[in-house]
Structure 1
C-alpha cells in the first residue's frame, strides 16, 4: 500500500463519526462566523506596500531592566519583544509575523498552517501545515512541535491559561509530520477553541529536549523560533538586537508581502523616561511612541525638530482605548466595600490633572470599550435590559434602572474639588470609617484606613505627579495614603504577587467574546490571573461572559458585551483615567508608512519601512552616525 494511502486512511480513522448531513468546513483562514475578508488567493493584505524596500534599522527604547529572554514565565523580567521570534499555526498579532490582518477584527489566516478543516459543530479541527516551514536552525517545523508546545503550556505555562484550556481541549495529536488534530470537549461554548489552539506559539521540541530548559523559568538562552526575526545579540539591561532572517522560510507567503521590512530592530534600555527622551534627542535610538502629554506639548522643541531631521506625527487609532486606570486590589478587606472604592475614586480629579499636568491633551475614559458600538450608555433598555433581567437575583435592582456608571466630573481650577471630597467623606462615614480627633479614619476596631500605592521608578515624571496629587486628596479625606517609587524588578514582582492596595494598571478591551474574557474578568482564575489585577470575582460577570460565549448571532453577542461593559463599570474595579484617540509618534526622518493606516494597528514593526536615501541624507548632515 502506498504511503499516501496509509496517511489518508489514518486521517479517516482519526475523524470522529459524523452525521450524514454534518458539514465539513475547509478554509485558508478562520473566523467564528465563517466570514473572511481575504480570499484564498489574496496577493497581500490591502493596507501594506507590497513593494516596500527591505533594509535598515529601527531603534526603540524600553524602560527599566530585563533578566530573561523567555516571555512565557511568571518569573523574571523578559526582554522587550522577546516573543516576536515565534510563530503559530494561524498567527495572532500583526507585529509578530502572524496571520491576523490589522484592518479587520476576529479573522486569522494560515501561517505555519496552509489550511484547516473542522466540522460545523466545531468539535475538532485539523491543521495541514506548510512542509517548507523551518526553525531558524533549519530544522523543519512539524506537527510534533505543535503538540509539544500545546502540552508544554499546559504543564509549565501560566496557571490561569492551563486551567482554562484543559477544560476545553481534550486532546492534541500529530496525525503525521505535518498534520495535527485537536479535539474539543463537548457541552461547552465553541468560542475560543479553534482560534485558541491555532494561536499557540510553536517551539522546537528538539531544542527543549537537548537543553532540558523549562518554559516556566527565566533564561537568557531563549528557544529558537521560526519567525522572520531572530535574536542577534543582547547586553543585559542595556540593549537587545533582533535581525531579519534572510533564510526565513516564509518570505514567499502572501501574508508576508510588504511586511517585516527592517533588517534589524534594536531596543535600548534606560532607567527612566527622562533619560530615554534625552537619548532620543541625541539620536541614540530613532523611533519613539510618546505617551507623556507634557513631553508632547513642550519637549519636542529641540534643534533636530527645527531642522526637520525629526518628524512628529499624530496618527489615527481606531481601536477602543486600553482600559487603563488606578486598579483596586479587591483582595484587600478594606477595598471589598464598594462605598470605599467609590470614595477613593472621588479623590481623582481628571479635569485638574488634564489641565495642570497634561496640557489638556487627553479625554476622560468612562467605558471598557470607550467610543465603540459596545459602550453602555444611559439606563439599560431593549435586548440588554431583558438579558440582565434574565439573570434574576444576580443583577442588582439599581443596575436595571440607573444609567451606566460614568467617571465623575471635577472642577479644573483646584486639585481638591470640595464637592467631591464631601461626598467621599460621607461614603467613608457610612462604610464605618469615621474621622478621629487626629484627623485619621479608623474602623470600630481602631484600625487605620491605610492605602499603599506603589509605582515603578522607571515611569514618567508626569505619572508620578498624577499619583502624588491623587494621594494628597486621599490624605485630605483622612485616609492614611502613601505612594512609593520602587525599582522596576521589585515593581514587577509586587504586581505579580498583588502586593498593593492600588496600582496603575490596565485590562484588555474587547470587541468580541472569547474564553479569554474569563481570564481577564472571571471568577475561576481571579485569585491568580495576571490579566485580572483587581482580582474581580463576580457571579454576574461570569454569567454574562458565559452567555456571550453561547450566542449564535453578532447581535446577541454585542448585547452581551454591552451588558458586560455596564456591569464592569458598576463594580468599580478601577478608577478610569485618561485616553488618547490618536497615537503620537516621533522619529528620525528615515522611515515611511502607507498613507492610509489600517484600523487596528499602527504597524511600526510590521509594515513600516526604511528609506535609505533619507537615512543617507541625515548621516551626511551629521544628524545621525
Structure 2
C-alpha cells in the first residue's frame, strides 16, 4: 500500500509541476505567435534562394576589435554574424521570438521563470556542442564584464539554474516583467571553452568563435573584414533560418566618410547602399549604371516606430541643466528652412520619442495615461496637463525673429543676457556650445543651426573627430551637443532604463547620453516594463514620451518612413518585404 501511495504522489507531483508552465516554440509579448510550431519558413523569405556569391558593404571610420561586448574599442562591422542567440525574431511581428539555439521554451504560468531547452544539434563552429553551461557563462560574463547596457537590460533576474547540459532556467525577482523571457532569448551565446583561457575584457583582434552562420575569414586591421558562410552551420535547415544566410562571402570595406563610400558604390566596388542623405538621393544617383538598370534604386516602406533623432543636450553640463535654456536653444532650430533648402522637402519633423507609431503621445493626456501622470503632477510642468506639446514651426524663409525674441526671454529668466552681441551669465562668461560630429557631411546640417545660435550671442564650434575618438568621447560623456538616434521598437521595455534611467546616468558607456535623473521618468519606465497587456504598454509609453518631450532633453530633428536603398543588379530580394526590418539576411546573389 505504501508503494502505491508513493507512486500516486509521484504522478500527482509530476502533473502538478507540468501545470506550472507552458512549453512552446515561441513567445509573444502580447497575444499568440503568428506561426505554429510546424511552420516551414517566414513569409518574407525565398526558401529556394541559392547560397552563393559575394557582397561588399561600406563602413565608415575604422575598427580595432572583434569584441563588441565591452566598452573599450571600436568593434568591426558584421561581427554579430558569428553568434547565434537563444531565440530569433520574426520581422513581421512587433515583438515575438522563435526558438533558435533553444528548441523549446518553458514559461512559468506566473511569469516568474523561464527555461530554455537547447537544440540537440546546436554546436559551435569548432564542432563542440552548445550547452547550458555556455549559456550560464555568457550571461554572467556579459553582466560582469560587458557594457553597462547588459546590467540594465537583464535587470530583474534573481538566479540561474543549470538543470542539465541542455536545460537552463532563469528565475525572476517577480512576475511583473513580461518582457524578460523575450529579451533573455536575445542573448548571444559565447563558447565557454574558448573564452576561459582568454581575457574577455580586452578589446583586441582575437578571432571570435560562435555558433552562428558565418565565420570570420580574414581582415586587414582597421580597413576591411570578411566573413564566410559556414558550410557546416548547424542551424541551416531550421524554419527560422530557411531562405536566409544566402550570401557565401560578406565583405566590409572601411572608408573615411560617406561621400567617398558613395563614389565607391557608384564605381561598383560596393554592392549595396542604404542612403540617409536626401540630397544624395535627389542628386547623386545618376549615370549610365542607373539609366541602363545595372543599379536599382528603391524606396521600401518602413513600418517601424521612428524613435527620436535629435540634437542631444548633455545635461551633466551646468549650462544645460536649466530646462529654460534647453527650450530656448530648441526654438532656434529652423526645421522648415532646413528641410526645404537641404533635404528637398523629404522629411517629416519628429515630434515624439516614439514617432510614427501608436506609442507616440499627442493632444492632451487622457484616460490611463492621464491617471499615470497625475500621480506625479507636483513634479511635472503645468503645461503638460493644459496644452499639447508642439515643436516650433517657422515660416521657412530663414527669418526667425519671433523665435529669437522668445529664446532671449527664456535665456534671461535662466540668468543669461545679451550684451554687445554676446550671451553672458552673471560672471560675464559667454555661452558656448561645441557640436560633436563624426562625418563631414553632417556639417551642412548643423551649420545653419549654429548660425541661428550665433545670432543670439552663443559662441559655437563644430568639432569633427574620427570614429574612435567619437565613440570614446560619447562613452565618457565628453560633449556638449551632438546628433543621436534613439531607435525604438513596437514593444519598448527594459532598454528604456538604459536610455533614460537614473541608475546608469553616470556610468560610462551607457546610452543615457543626456544624463537624465528623474524620479518620474524612472517610475514611468517601470510602469511600461510591468504592463500586463498591450493597452497598458501603449498608455505607459505615451506618458513617458510626454514627460521626455516636456523635459526638452533634445532638439527634435526629422524622420522618414521609408528605407532608401540602392544596389547592384546581382543582388535580389524576396517578393514580400518584412514589415519591421529591411532583412538583408534574406537577399541573395543571382
TM-score, length of structure 2 as denominator length: 0.94
Partner of 1:599: helix, strand, or coil? coil
Deviations 1:98-121, CA, capped at 9 Å, x for gaps? x21110011000000100112211
Cα deviation for residue 19 of structure 1 reads 7.6
Deviations 1:248-306, CA, capped at 9 Å, x for gaps? 00112111111111111111110011211111111111111111111110001122112
Could you tell me how far apart the structure 2 residues matched to 1:485 and 1:51 are?
46
Confirm whether residue 206 of structure 1 aligns to residue 189 of structure 2. Answer: no
Partner of 1:524: helix, strand, or coil? helix
Deviations 1:135-164, CA, capped at 9 Å, x for gaps? 111111111110110110111011342256
Partner of 1:435: helix, strand, or coil? strand
Confirm whether residue 426 of structure 1 aligns to residue 426 of structure 2. Answer: no
Show the counterpart of 2:419: 436
Show the counterpart of 1:143: 132
Cα deviation for residue 526 of structure 1 reads 1.7
Show the counterpart of 2:457: 478
User: Is 1:433–1:441's contact at 8 Å kept on the other side of the alignment?
Assistant: yes
User: Quick one: structure 1 residues 396 and 19, their matched pair in 2 at CA, closer, same or farther if it must change by over 3 Å?
Assistant: farther
Could you tell me how far apart the structure 2 residues matched to 1:273 and 1:225 are?
31
Show the counterpart of 1:191: 178
User: Quick one: structure 1 residues 386 and 465, their matched pair in 2 at CA, closer, same or farther if it must change by over 3 Å?
Assistant: same
* Aligned residues: CA RMSD: 1.9
Q: Size of the alignment, in residue pairs?
A: 578
Cα deviation for residue 87 of structure 1 reads 1.0
Cα deviation for residue 178 of structure 1 reads 1.0
Show the counterpart of 1:508: 487
Show the counterpart of 1:596: 576
Confirm whether residue 133 of structure 1 aligns to residue 122 of structure 2. Answer: yes
Show the counterpart of 2:33: 36
Partner of 1:483: helix, strand, or coil? strand
Within-5 A mapping of 1:53-452:
53-90=50-87, 99-162=88-151, 165=154, 167-186=155-174, 189-210=176-197, 212-214=198-200, 216-403=201-388, 405-414=389-398, 416-437=399-420, 439-452=421-434
Could you tell me how far apart the structure 1 residues matched to 2:124 and 2:513 are?
35
Cα deviation for residue 131 of structure 1 reads 1.5
Show the counterpart of 1:615: none
Give ranges in structure 1 of 5+ residues lacking alignment.
1-11, 91-98, 612-625
Could you tell me how far apart the structure 1 residues matched to 2:586 and 2:346 are?
28
Deviations 1:30-86, CA, capped at 9 Å, x for gaps? 123451111000011122111112111121101011111111111111111111211
Confirm whether residue 47 of structure 1 aligns to residue 30 of structure 2. Answer: no
Could you tell me how far apart the structure 2 residues matched to 1:314 and 1:199 are?
29
Could you tell me how far apart the structure 1 residues matched to 2:118 and 2:239 are?
16
Could you tell me how far apart the structure 2 residues matched to 1:413 and 1:123 are?
58
Deviations 1:4-25, CA, capped at 9 Å, x for gaps? xxxxxxxx9xxx9998896421
Show the counterpart of 1:551: 531
Give ranges in structure 2 of 5+ residues lacking alignment.
1-9
Could you tell me how far apart the structure 1 residues matched to 2:29 and 2:293 are?
47
Q: Which shifted more, 380-389 or 79-88?
A: 380-389
Q: Which shifted more, 371-380 or 506-515?
A: 506-515
Show the counterpart of 1:8: none
Could you tell me how far apart the structure 2 residues matched to 1:470 and 1:209 are?
51
Could you tell me how far apart the structure 2 residues matched to 1:510 and 1:566 are?
17
Could you tell me how far apart the structure 1 residues matched to 2:497 and 2:16 are?
32
User: Is 2:82–2:208's contact at 8 Å kept on the other side of the alignment?
Assistant: no
Could you tell me how far apart the structure 1 residues matched to 2:406 and 2:225 are?
50
TM-score, length of structure 1 as denominator length: 0.89
Could you tell me how far apart the structure 2 residues matched to 1:442 and 1:20 are?
70
